[in-house]
């Protein structure tokens, strides 16, 4: 047989298409991560201004007109209200103008991202220079000393996401991408639920009692972890049920390539380009990272929306997985259950 013939036999059309798909994922990975993270600039950061009435409006306008538009300033009634809004995650920082001295205060929350907190202090310090005023920083929600740059929440959620799609991928590789029937689909869903509970508890214990990287309720983080793992796992199972082994690549595209760089982990959302800032909150890594930080540093505030996002992914994945199994023709399900359905064994 000629060399060309050997190549033709060794590399099937399906294999060639899969390799091309992997190349596409590789290039998208590079484009997404570098595109999102190569030049972090604060843009339209929600920011409060507490100042005497006679200068408040003018100061808000000045901060709104800063080059590059780093801030989205708004007047706040007093310091207590500014702290409350920061803890509720309505704003990311605030400037408290001293009515008597020449030193003002910048309230920040490094628990929401140390890089953003430091950037806000620098921005305000530069803005105050023409007025011959200085600033001091007060961290109202400080990151743990064991949580470098506030990244532990992000890496915790990334670990949960990895566990979710790897577990679903293993089920597909070992027992077929498409469940043979409704009962098998229910079994996979049950396995994913049990795995999610174990993964959620395990991750929360590691970052909490074991490493001391994150404060906050271990049980709240455990519940979040179970939801993150389950949402990612069921999404992966649903994609596999719809498209076969290609579903694993689609899960990587959604969770890893699109989700991780837009999660607000390495750089909080206000420092990301518009595209990644827009999609991040709608994907499991972004929603999970937001909730994890809220649990650890913001008394569990502002978590309803992100939890609904995670729940929507979990419900949609479960429904699609079950409906796909129920819609299979009886003869197809029989062949799959008896081992004659190719990749659809279980």
Burial status of residue 33 (CB atoms within 10 A of its CB: 0-12, 13-18, 19 or more): middle
| Mean pLDDT computed over 108-135 | 94
Q: Whole-angstrom Cα distance, residue 178 to residue 165?
A: 15
Question: Residue 173 — very low, low, confident or very high, per pLDDT cuts 50/70/90?
Answer: confident
Q: Which of 121-125, 269-273, 311-315, 326-330 has the lowest mean pLDDT?
A: 326-330
Q: 335 pLDDT exceeds 50? A: no
Helix (H, G, I), strand (E, B) or coil at 222: helix
Q: 273 pLDDT exceeds 70? A: yes
Question: Residue 302 — very low, low, confident or very high, per pLDDT cuts 50/70/90?
Answer: very high
Q: 178 pLDDT exceeds 90? A: no
What is the four-CA torsion angle of 111, 265, 90, 120, rounded to 10 degrees? 70
Q: 266 pLDDT exceeds 50? A: yes
Q: What is the DSSP letter of 112?
A: G
Report the Cα 299 to chain-centroid distance in Å.
Answer: 19
Report the Cα 107 to chain-centroid distance in Å.
Answer: 25
Burial status of residue 192 (CB atoms within 10 A of its CB: 0-12, 13-18, 19 or more): buried
Q: 343 pLDDT exceeds 60? A: no
| Mean pLDDT computed over 215-219 | 95
Question: Residue 176 — very low, low, confident or very high, per pLDDT cuts 50/70/90?
Answer: low
| Mean pLDDT computed over 32-53 | 94
Q: What is the mean pLDDT of the chain?
A: 90
Q: 328 pLDDT exceeds 70? A: no
Sheet holding 71-75, edge to edge: 71-75, 45-50, 93-96, 103-108, 134-139
Greater confidence, 270 or 335? 270
């Amino acid at each position: 047989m000629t060399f060309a013939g050997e190549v033709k036999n060794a590399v099937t059309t399906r294999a060639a298409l899969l390799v091309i798909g992997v190349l596409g994922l590789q290039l998208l990975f590079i484009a997404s991560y570098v595109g999102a993270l190569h030049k972090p600039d604060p843009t339209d950061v929600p920011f409060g201004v507490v100042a005497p009435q006679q200068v408040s409006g003018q100061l808000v306008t000045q901060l709104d007109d800063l080059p590059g538009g780093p801030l989205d300033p708004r007047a706040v009634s007093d310091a207590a209200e500014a702290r409350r809004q920061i803890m509720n995650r309505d704003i990311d920082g605030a400037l408290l103008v001293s009515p008597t001295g020449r030193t003002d205060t910048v309230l920040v929350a490094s628990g929401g991202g140390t890089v953003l907190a430091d950037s806000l202090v620098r921005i305000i310090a530069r803005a105050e220079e023409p007025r011959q005023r200085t600033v001091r920083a007060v961290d109202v929600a400080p990151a743990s000393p064991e949580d470098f740059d506030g990244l532990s929440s992000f890496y915790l959620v990334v670990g949960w996401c990895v566990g979710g799609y790897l577990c679903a991928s293993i089920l597909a590789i070992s027992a077929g991408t498409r469940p043979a029937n409704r009962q098998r689909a229910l079994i996979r869903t049950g396995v994913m639920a049990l795995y999610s509970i174990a993964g959620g508890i395990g991750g929360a214990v590691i970052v909490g009692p074991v490493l001391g990287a994150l404060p906050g309720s271990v049980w709240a983080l455990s519940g979040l972890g179970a939801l993150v793992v389950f949402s990612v796992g069921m999404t992966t199972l649903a994609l596999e049920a719809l498209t076969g082994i290609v579903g694993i690549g689609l899960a990587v595209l959604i969770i890893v390539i699109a989700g991780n760089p837009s999660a607000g982990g390495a750089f909080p959302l206000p420092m990301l380009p518009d595209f990644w800032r827009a999609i991040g909150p709608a994907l499991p890594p972004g929603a999970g990272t937001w909730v994890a930080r809220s649990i650890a540093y913001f008394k569990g505030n502002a978590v309803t929306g992100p939890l609904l996002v995670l729940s929507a992914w979990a419900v949609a994945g479960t429904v699609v997985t079950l409906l796909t199994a129920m819609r299979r023709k009886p003869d197809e399900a029989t062949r799959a259950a008896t081992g004659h359905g190719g990749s659809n064994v279980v």
